[in-house]
Amino acid sequence: ASSVENDLVDILFTEEQILEKLDEMARRIEADYEGQELLVVGVLRGAIMVMADLSRALTRHVETDWMAVSSYGSGTKSSGVVRILKDLDTDISGKHVLVVDEIIDTGLTLSWLISNLTSRGPASVEIATLLRKPEALAMPVTPKYVGWDIPNEFVVGYGLDYQERYRNLRCIGTLAPHVYS
Ligand code: PRP
Ligand code: MG
């Protein structure tokens, strides 16, 4: 029987490292939003693992909601087309909003999302991302919380997919070449 993890050439972050990082992030979020109501918004689908673990690391009350956007309008991300596939169920006007995603690559998704959410009149909008690829960044996105900066390599696991597979890995790693061929 073949294990999914056999398809990885390298494990970048283990489950333990990820949970420790999200725990640190949760402590900072608790300090920064002390005394304020907070709405945490996950970006489907990649952010589901980060949302599950980061929100459970928080020991305070939060509201949670979800958005789904498509940034592959006509083929590639460079098309720059972002569409809302599922909008928030919550009215965010006057609320402190923290958008949670698992990776900032080009920044297209979150730069568009932040300007869209800002137009709804929230008290504040900030970003928490587990991973960021500084070399790939093409749009102005300044997350308040970043787990790790990583090189511009293709990574999978913990919500990140390659052709819709590998999202269910507990760790984050780089794909072995035999997977492509
Ligand atoms: C991925 C990832 C981020 C986004 C980052 O989502 O989950 O949301 O791309 O890339 P960017 O910074 O270049 O916009 P994707 O749109 O692939 O959908 P998914 O979350 O359903 O996997
Ligand atoms: Mg995504």
**Burial class, 10, CB count within 10 angstroms (exposed 0-12 / middle 13-18 / buried 19+):** exposed
Residue 1 binned pLDDT confidence (cut-offs 50, 70, 90):
very low
DSSP code of residue 3: -
Q: Virtual CA dihedral for 111, 84, 87, 68, nearest 10 degrees?
A: -80
Q: CA end-to-end span of the chain, whole Å?
A: 20
What is the CA(103)–ligand 1 centre distance, in A?
7
- Give the CATH fold of the 16-151 domain: Rossmann fold (3.40.50)
Which tens digit of pLDDT belongs to each residue from 28-70?
Answer: 999 999 999 999 999 999 999 999 999 999 999 999 999 999 9
pLDDT averaged over the chain?
A: 94
Task: Calculate what percentage of the chain has a pLDDT beyond 90.
Answer: 86
Count Cβ atoms below 10 Å from residue 82 Cβ, excluding itself: 19
DSSP reduced 3-state for 42: strand
CA separation for the pair 27, 172 (Å, rounded)? 22
Please list the active-site residues.
105
With b meaning 16 or more CB within 10 Å and e meaning fewer, what string describes 121-144?
Answer: ebeebbbbbbbbbeebbeeebebb
Question: Order of strands across the sheet with 172-175?
Answer: 8-13, 172-175, 155-156
Where in the chain does DSSP place strands (E)? Answer: 8-13, 38-44, 63-70, 83-86, 96-104, 124-132, 145-149, 155-156, 172-175
Candidate of 105, 132, 168 to mutate for ligand 1, largest count of ligand atoms within 8 Å of Cβ: 105
User: Does the structure show a pLDDT above 80 at 181?
Assistant: no
Residue 105 in contact with ligand 1 by CB distance below 6 A: yes
Confidence of residue 71 (pLDDT cuts 50, 70, 90): confident
Say which range, 8-17, 20-29, 64-73, has the weakest mean pLDDT: 64-73
- SS3 call for 81: coil
Q: Which phi and psi angles does 163 have, rounded to 5°? A: 50, 45
The pLDDT value recorded for residue 80 is 75
- For the chain, the structural domain boundaries read 16-151
CA of residue 76 to ligand 1 center, whole Å: 12
pLDDT in tens, 95-143: 999 999 999 999 999 999 999 999 999 999 999 999 999 999 999 999 9
Ligand 2 is a single-atom ion; what residues have CB below 5 A from it?
A: 46
**CB 29 within 8 Å of CB 144:** no
